Amino acid sequence: MAGPSYADAIARHAADPGSPPALVLPDRIVGYAEFAADVDACAAWLAARGCGPDGVVGVCVGDEVLHLVVTLALLAIGAPQVVLPTHEPPAAREELARRLAVRTLVVGETSDALPDRAYAEVSAAVLARERRRKASVRPGSRAGALVYYASSGTTGRPKIYSLTEDALIWRVARARETEAMGPGSRILALSSVEHSPSRHKRMFALHAGLTSVFVPESGAMRTGLAGACAEHGVTNVELNTLQVASLLAEEGGAAAVLPPQTSVYVAGSRVPAQMRRTFRSRHGRPLYVHYGAREIGRIAFNWPDGGDDELETLGPPVRWMDVEIVDAEGVPVPRGEVGEIRLHSDHLACGYLDDPQATARAYRDGWFHPGDLVSLTGAGELRLHGRVDERMNLNSIKIYPSEIEQVIEALPGVRAAAAFAQPSPVHGDIPMVAVETLPGTTVDPEALLEAARERLGLRAPRRIVVVETLPRNSAGKILRTEVARMLAGCR
| DSSP-derived 3-state class of residue 77 | coil
> What are 414's strand-pairing partners?
437
308 — phi, psi (to 5°)? -100, 110
CA R_g for the chain: 23
Q: Is the peptide bond before 115 cis (omega within 30 degrees of 0)?
A: no
* pLDDT at res. 136: 72
At 181, the pLDDT band (50, 70, 90 cuts) reads: confident
* 451 falls within a domain: yes
**Which of residues 118, 145, 164 is at a domain's end?**
164
CATH number at residue 418: 3.30.300.30
Percent of the chain with pLDDT over 70: 94
Distance between CA atoms of residues 85 and 79, nearest Å: 18
Task: Give the span between the Cα atoms of 7 and 267, in whole angstroms.
Answer: 28
- Weakest mean pLDDT among 25-34, 155-164, 183-192: 155-164
Confidence bin at 210 (pLDDT 50/70/90): very high
Mean pLDDT of 276-301: 93
Q: Kindly report each contact of residues 139-144 with a partner whose C-beta sits within 8 Å and lies 24 or more positions away, as own/partner.
A: 139/5, 139/7, 139/76, 139/77, 139/78, 140/52, 140/53, 140/75, 140/76, 140/77, 140/78, 140/79, 141/53, 141/78, 142/5, 142/78, 142/166, 144/53, 144/78, 144/79, 144/80
Per-residue pLDDT at 478: 86
First-last CA distance in the chain: 58
**Phi, psi torsion values for 98, nearest 5 degrees:** -65, -45
Exposure b/e, 216-242, CB count within 10 A at least 16 = b: eeeebbeebbbbbbbebbbbbbbbbbb
pLDDT digit string (tens) for 330-364? 999 999 999 999 999 988 888 999 999 999 999 99
CATH of the domain at 87: 3.40.50.980
Average pLDDT over residues 289-315: 93
Query: How high is the mean pLDDT of the chain?
Result: 90
Least confident among 131-140, 186-195, 230-239: 131-140
Pairing between β-strand 159-163 and β-strand 186-189 as defined by DSSP bridges: unpaired
CA distance 214 to 207: 17
326 domain residue, yes or no:
no
Domain that holds residue 439: 391-486
- Given 138, 164, 190, which residue is the final one in a domain? 164
**Per-residue confidence at 183, pLDDT binned at 50, 70, 90?**
confident
- What's the rounded Cα separation, in Å, for the pair 326 and 358? 20
**What pLDDT score was predicted for residue 199?**
92
**What's the average model confidence in pLDDT over 404-427?**
89
pTM equals: 0.87
Q: Residue 313 falls within a domain, yes or no?
A: no
Q: Is the pLDDT reported for residue 1 higher than 60?
A: no
Is 93 in contact with 60 (CB distance < 8 Å)? yes
| Residue 238 pLDDT greater than 60, yes or no | yes
Q: Give phi and psi for 175, each to the nearest 5.
A: -65, -35
pLDDT in tens, 310-327: 999 999 999 999 999 999
What is the mean predicted confidence (pLDDT) over 59-86? 96
Q: Is residue 396 part of a domain?
A: yes
Pairing between β-strand 428-437 and β-strand 463-467 as defined by DSSP bridges: parallel
CA distances from 208 to 11, 42, 391 (A): 12, 21, 40
| Residue 50 belongs to some domain of the structure | yes
Task: Write the pLDDT tens digit of every residue in 6-57.
Answer: 999 999 999 999 999 999 998 899 999 999 999 999 999 999 999 999 999 9
Q: Is 157 part of a structural domain of the chain?
A: yes
Q: Per-residue confidence at 255, pLDDT binned at 50, 70, 90?
A: low
The CA–CA distances, whole Å, from 41 to 28, 36, 124, 136 equal 20, 9, 11, 7
Residue 348 pLDDT: 87
Q: Is the pLDDT of residue 176 over 90?
A: no
Residue 149 lies in a domain: yes
211: in domain: no
| Cα→Cα distances 67→87, 149, 212, Å | 14, 15, 14
Domain boundary among 124, 148, 164: 164
| Range from 108-122, 130-144, 291-305 carrying the lowest mean pLDDT | 130-144
Amino acid identity, residue 95? E
Please give the backbone phi and psi of residue 216, each rounded to the nearest 5 degrees, phi first: -55, 140
Provide the pLDDT for residue 219. 62
CA distance 474 to 487: 22
Higher pLDDT, 488 or 245: 245
Query: Hey, what amino acid is at 324?
Result: E
For residues 179 and 216, give the distance between their C-alpha atoms in angstroms, rounded to a whole number.
24
Q: Domains in the chain: how many in total?
A: 2
Q: List all residues 6 or more positions away from 294 whose beta carbon is below 8 Å from its beta carbon.
A: 149, 151, 161, 196, 349
Q: Report whether pLDDT(490) > 60.
A: no
Of the candidate ranges 65-69, 189-193, 374-378, the one whose mean pLDDT is the lowest: 189-193
Q: Which residue has the higher pLDDT, 84 or 242?
A: 84
